[in-house]
């Protein structure tokens, strides 16, 4: 029998833990036999010492087995899960899901809600009147078999160890650990049952990983864990130095996603969606080269098939599919406040702090500071100038959609998020690299 204190000191002193030792700590914590304060110390030891690949894989597997595992076998065909590590303005699932389903892949996706400066896919979908995020498993499987696509909330008891550990990490300064993030994300992906996994690992000020080097290590760790568990996994590193696309906030992001499905999305966001969808086509064997995969993406967008998939999903889940033609069917704040560029000197946008923009949107009511907070689907921010764009005195930089509350604070954060340069600035590439 182990003692928690011995395992904490073992890790603290830089030694490697065995699968049995990790299972003792994690299962003991989930079963309330080991207290928060010992697991807090253990997490901090991991934060400083790290986990090697074997430990990460073992920790992931222990977490997978802490709860239910979804069996997607009632769904015929290749099932792929696409997951993003979280960012500001990230509505990729709303676009990648329909594109991939239109191309013949089965997307049975369980998504989450937003917390803090990052938004959640479920909150965005609930901007659509009537859209139900809860389906029983039979209806979920049936819908994916019929139309290839469903995005729902998680009802099964998936990875309870992760839920408990994540909440503890959140209040003990131990979120930003590569080993802990890799095990947290991969345990949920492995328990969710897809055959293949496509990961979008965000890098930059609005992401957990601020540097390409650490994001690369995280991506490599997750791809290796996936491989060790028999699931083909690919990770794409993508830029989160500035918000993704132009819209931040629930209805605003659904509108931007629909525009992208119509082939009219902002360049960075559309490029990311095209690329991740192409990775899905490649990994699932639907396309044999990136060129063919991207051509298929083009085809399903240009023919309207991807937009049609989105409409079908909305309709099947009780939502009003007419939102696709009539955005006024979704809640949107009627009060707007504009932020202007006021300097005499023309300049280029050098940086837009994604974290600050995310916080400004949260303050307006688009996100939650605490899990219990209600959100306002109609508020948010549209940014009109992205990194590399030229600005002149009197030009609009951003529009805030507000119910009138906390507008000064949100305006000041949005203002502070922007940094300008008098010399030309290159636009930021959205795709950094892919790790296979
Ligand atoms: N997302 C997760 O699901 N877990 C982490 O630890 C970090 C981001």
CA of 149 to the centre of ligand 1 (A): 24
- The reply to whether 83 belongs to the active site is yes
Q: What is the pLDDT of residue 372?
A: 79
Residue 188 annotated in active site: yes
Residues 125 and 26 in one domain: no
pLDDT tens-place string over residues 323-357: 999 999 999 999 999 999 999 999 999 999 999 99
Q: Are residues 220 and 170 in the same domain?
A: yes
CA of 175 to the centre of ligand 1 (A): 8
pLDDT number for residue 108: 94
Task: Supply the pLDDT for residue 326.
Answer: 98
For the cut 90, the answer to whether the pLDDT of residue 140 exceeds it is yes
> What stretch of H or E contains 131?
none
Give the helix, strand, coil percentages of the chain, each rounded to 5. 45, 15, 35
Report whether pLDDT(155) > 80: no
Same domain, residue pair 337 and 323: no
Q: What is the pLDDT of residues 243-274, one digit of tens each?
A: 999 999 999 999 999 999 999 999 999 999 99
Q: Is residue 373 part of a domain?
A: yes
Cα separation of 33 and 378, whole Å?
A: 44
Q: Provide the CATH number for the domain around residue 196.
A: 3.40.1030.10
| Stated pTM of the model | 0.93
At residue 371 the predicted structure's pLDDT band, cuts being 50, 70 and 90, is confident
Query: Does residue 65 form part of some domain?
Result: no
Provide the number of structural domains found in the chain: 3
Work out the pLDDT band at 396, boundaries 50, 70, 90. very high
Residue 397, pLDDT > 90, answer yes
Mutate to test the pocket of ligand 1, among 166, 167, 207 (most ligand atoms within 8 A of CB): 166
User: Both 33 and 124 in a single domain?
Assistant: no
Q: Which of 90, 162, 195, 239 is catalytic?
A: 162
Of 413, 46, 346, 55, nearest to 221 (Cα)?
55
Residue 169 falls in the annotated catalytic set: yes
Q: Using a 6 Å cutoff on CB, does residue 184 contact ligand 1?
A: yes
Distance CA 60, CA 65 (A): 9
- 103 and 160 co-located in one domain: yes
Q: Are residues 283 and 397 in the same domain?
A: no
Mean pLDDT of all residues in the chain? 95
User: What's the CA gap between 244 and 240, in Å, rounded?
Assistant: 7
127 catalytic per annotation: no
Q: Which residues of 11-31 are buried (b: 16+ CB within 10 A; e: fewer)?
A: beeeeebeeebbbbbbbbbbe
Scored b (16 or more CB within 10 A) or e, 228-267 reads bbebbbbbbbbbbbbbbbbbbbbbbbbbbbbbbbeeebbe
Ligand 1 atom showing the smallest separation from residue 181 Cα: 6
Give the C-alpha separation, 381 to 400, whole Å: 5
Domain identity same for 336 and 367 = yes
Angle, in degrees to the nearest 10, between helices 290-302 and 267-283: 120
pLDDT given for residue 427 in this prediction: 92
Q: Which residue minimizes the CA distance to atom 7 of ligand 1? A: 181
Residue span of the structural domain in which 234 resides: 80-327
Annotated catalytic residue 377:
no
12-53 pLDDT tens trace: 999 999 999 999 999 999 999 999 999 999 999 999 999 999
Is residue 282 domain-shared with residue 400, that is, in the same domain?
Answer: no
Q: Is residue 176 part of a domain?
A: yes
Chain length of the chain:
436
Q: Say yes or no to pLDDT of 117 above 80.
A: no
pLDDT at 146: 98
Residue 360 near residue 410 (C-beta atoms within 8 A): yes
- Do 147 and 13 fall within a single domain? no
Asked whether the CA dihedral 366, 333, 93, 108 is positive or negative, the reply is positive
Which of 278, 305, 327 delimits the end of a domain?
327
Helices (H), 72-136: 92-102, 121-125
Q: What is the pLDDT of residue 156?
A: 78
What is the model's pLDDT at position 206? 83
Q: Is residue 129 very low, low, confident or very high in pLDDT (cuts 50, 70, 90)?
A: very high
Q: Is residue 115 pLDDT above 80, yes or no?
A: no
> Do 105 and 222 reside in the same domain of the chain?
yes
Is the Cβ atom of 47 under 6 angstroms away from ligand 1?
no
Strand ranges inside 156-224, DSSP E: 196-203
pLDDT-derived band at 119, boundaries 50, 70, 90: confident
């Amino acid at each position: 029998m182990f003692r928690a204190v011995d395992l904490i000191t073992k890790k603290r002193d830089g030694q490697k833990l065995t699968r049995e030792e990790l299972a003792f700590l994690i299962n003991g914590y989930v079963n309330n036999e080991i207290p928060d304060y010992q697991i807090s110390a253990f997490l901090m030891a991991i934060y400083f010492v790290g986990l090697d690949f074997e430990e990460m894989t073992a920790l992931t597997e222990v977490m997978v087995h802490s709860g239910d595992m979804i069996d997607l076998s009632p769904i015929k065909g290749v099932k792929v899960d696409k997951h993003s590590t979280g960012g500001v303005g990230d509505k990729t699932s709303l676009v990648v899901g329909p594109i991939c389903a239109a191309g013949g892949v089965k997307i049975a996706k369980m998504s989450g809600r937003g917390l803090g400066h990052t938004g959640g896919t479920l909150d965005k979908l609930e901007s659509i009147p009537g859209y139900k995020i809860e389906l029983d498993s039979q209806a979920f499987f049936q819908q994916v078999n019929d139309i290839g696509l469903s995005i729902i909330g998680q009802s099964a008891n998936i990875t309870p160890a992760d839920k408990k550990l994540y909440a503890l990490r959140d209040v003990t300064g131990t979120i930003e650990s590569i080993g802990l993030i890799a095990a947290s994300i991969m345990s949920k992906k492995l328990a969710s049952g897809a055959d293949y996994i496509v990961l979008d690992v965000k890098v930059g000020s609005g992401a957990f990983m601020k540097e390409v080097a650490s994001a690369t290590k995280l991506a490599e760790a997750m791809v290796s864990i996936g491989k060790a568990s028999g699931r083909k996994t690919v990770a794409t590193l993508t830029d989160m130095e500035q918000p993704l696309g132009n819209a931040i906030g629930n209805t605003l992001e659904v509108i931007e996603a629909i525009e992208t499905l119509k082939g009219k999305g902002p360049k960075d966001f559309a490029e990311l969606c095209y690329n991740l969808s192409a990775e899905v086509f490649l990994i699932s064997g639907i396309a044999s080269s990136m060129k063919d995969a991207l051509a298929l993406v083009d085809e399903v967008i240009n023919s309207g098939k991807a937009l049609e998939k989105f409409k079908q999903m909305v309709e099947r889940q009780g939502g009003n599919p007419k939102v696709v033609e009539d955005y006024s069917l979704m809640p949107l704040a009627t009060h707007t406040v504009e932020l202007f560029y006021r300097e005499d000197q023309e300049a280029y946008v050098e940086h837009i702090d994604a974290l600050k923009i995310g916080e400004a949107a949260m303050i307006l009511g688009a996100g939650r500071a605490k899990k219990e907070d209600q959100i306002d689907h109609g508020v948010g921010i549209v940014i009109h100038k992205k990194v590399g764009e030229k600005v002149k005195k009197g030009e609009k930089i951003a529009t805030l959609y507000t119910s009138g509350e906390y507008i000064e604070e949100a305006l000041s954060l949005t203002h502070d998020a922007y940094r300008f340069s008098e010399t030309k600035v290159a636009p930021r590439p959205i795709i950094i690299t892919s790790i296979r």
